[in-house]
Every structure is written in structure tokens, then in C-alpha cells.
Chains A and B, each alone.
Chain A
Amino acid sequence: MAFISRGFHGRRPSAGTKLPPGQYETTGFPVLSAGPTPRIRKDDWQLSVTTETGKRHVWDWAGLMALPADSPTVDLHCVTKWSKFGTQWQGVSLDVLLADVETSAEHVLVTSYGGYTTNVPLADLVDGKAWIAYGYEGGDLAPEHGGPARLLVPHLYLWKSAKWVSGIELRQSDVPGFWETAGYHNYGDPWREQRYQGD
């Protein structure tokens, strides 16, 4: 038996230029999850950014909604080999959230409601490359896809786009997350097919 859920309804694309190596296009939106789906009420939701000195910045839902929003359209690439093109999101750029955060950290450990973690270099979360996304295709982001809000880092494999995001920990040292400690690549660039450690 394969350990990996390969996704659903896959087919080979007619034009493969947008497709990283080893991927196939899907028009569905497969739900992958390592545990039960947390149901977080917007009234209870919080996102914290914690610096390497311990300083904590916290946004509640109203605070997040008060920030300027982007509407990125991006392609998604899951390490289980499906890719989905042209997904439309609404969310707040990490550049906005981190604008007033003083840090010299280079590493980030992202934490989620439900206990999931993943690590990303800080450089990959800034300069218009990442969002805290709360809207998908014109509606609220559904809980099974990470709602009320998830990280969206579309240039890396989708396991880096932590669902149900709750914390951004800025760190001096790199700490591997949930899948990174279980054989998956520390960085996860789909265009270099960095699926597993050693790739």
C-alpha cells in the first residue's frame, strides 16, 4: 500500500508549463489532514507573532479584518503530487503583519490550532510571497481548508501553508516542523522537487 494519499480525480495536463516536475493537475481541491479539523470561532481566533526576544504581537479577528487585504491568484502544489491552478484567495500579506515587528531572526516556526507546525525561512514569508488567507473563491475559507485563516505560501509545497494558523514564531535557529521531522524536505521547493530529505 502507498503511504501517501495521492489526491483525487487527477489527470495529466494538456499544457505542462505551469506544472512542477512530478505533479499532475487536479480541478478539485483535495482535503489532506493529519488530524481532526479544529473548529475555531472567529470570536475566539487569535494570531500571534512572537519575536526572538519574546515580544508578542497579537491580532484578533477584528484586528485582522482592519488590515489592508490582498486578493492573490496563485497555483497550489501539494507534495502528494496534485497541483491546482488559478486559485483565488483573500488575505493579509505577511509584509503588513510584520511591518512593525522588529527582528533579526532568519527562521520562522509556524504553529496552528490543533498542534500542527511547519518551518519556513523568514525570507520566504516577506516581499509579497505569503499571506494570512481567510477568503477563498469569494467566500469564507472553509474549516477543512484551514479556515477561519491559514498561512498561504504558494511557492512552496502546500504543507508549508499551515491550516488553522495561530502563531508565527521568529527564531534565531531553525526548528523542523511536523512533516519536516518525518522525512519531508526542510524547504520544499516544488520546482526543484524537494519532497523528501536528501532531495
Chain B
Amino acid sequence: MTSVEPGGSEVNDTDAGYVDGNALAGPLSEVFAVDVTTATSRCANCGCTGPLARLRVYKHAPGLVARCQQCGSVMLRATRTRDAVWLDMSGAVSLAIPVGET
């Protein structure tokens, strides 16, 4: 099914307990000036690349856990404490974020 997250992103729900990476858009907009779901990431475990929007996001948890769509490794975690957003991207080698040409 498709639902719309607060913030306007369309999120595709699956029966497997996760949603697609568009679920990251709203929470990460609190700390990023751009929509990072369009960024291209590289998995530190299997090396595959793709947009963050394709990651598998487990959100029925104490934080958001985004896993590689290919190998299932944790690529990104985001948690919201009382006064901070914690972002762990140790499972991603890089993130290419589209910006305007210089």
C-alpha cells in the first residue's frame, strides 16, 4: 500500500515489516537542508548503490533503521532523543547528495 507521511512524502508499505526509504524524508528534514532521500548511497557491506528512497526502513522501533535493499545490512540509523537527532551512517560508504551546479 502507499501512504503519505507527514511532510508529504509517499511511502510504500510492505508486508515484510518495513517501508521504503521515503520514510526518512520527514525525520531527516529536521537536520538536512535538502531532501536526502534522493541522495545516492553505497552500502559498506555489499557495495551496491542506489537512492536512499530504495532502502528498507524499519520504523516500528525506538528509531529508524534503514537497511540495504540488496543485502539487508544496516546502512543508516536515526534516533530522536529529547534534544538531539542521532545519525549513524557507518553502514554507508558514501552519500552523493544532488545540489545545484557551481
Interface residues of A (CB under 8 A from B): 1-5, 30-37, 79-80, 115, 159, 179, 181-184, 195-199
Contacts and interface: CB of A to CB of B under 8 A. Distances in A.
Contact of A33 (B7, B17, B79): B17
A182 B78 CA distance: 7
Interface residues of B, number: 29
Interface stretch (B36-44, B46-54, B55-63, B94-102): B55-63
Given A1-B26, A3-B79, A183-B84, A34 B58 contact: yes
Interface in B64-91: 64-65, 67, 72, 74, 77-82, 84-86, 88
A1 B88 contact: no
Given A79-B62, A179-B62, A184-B62, A36 B17 contact: yes
Which 6 pairs across A and B sit closest by C-beta, in order of nearness?
A3-B80, A183-B86, A196-B81, A1-B26, A34-B65, A5-B60
Contacts of A179: 62-63, 79
With most chain A CB atoms within 10 A of its CB, the pick from B5, B61, B79 is B61
A135 to B, nearest CB: 24
User: Chain A binding site: helix, strand, loop or mixed by DSSP?
Assistant: loop
Contacts of B82: 195-196, 198-199
24 contacts: A1-B26, A3-B79, A3-B80, A4-B63, A4-B80, A5-B59, A32-B62, A34-B58, A35-B65, A35-B72, A36-B16, A79-B62, A80-B62, A179-B62, A179-B79, A181-B88, A182-B77, A182-B88, A183-B63, A183-B86, A184-B62, A184-B79, A195-B82, A196-B81
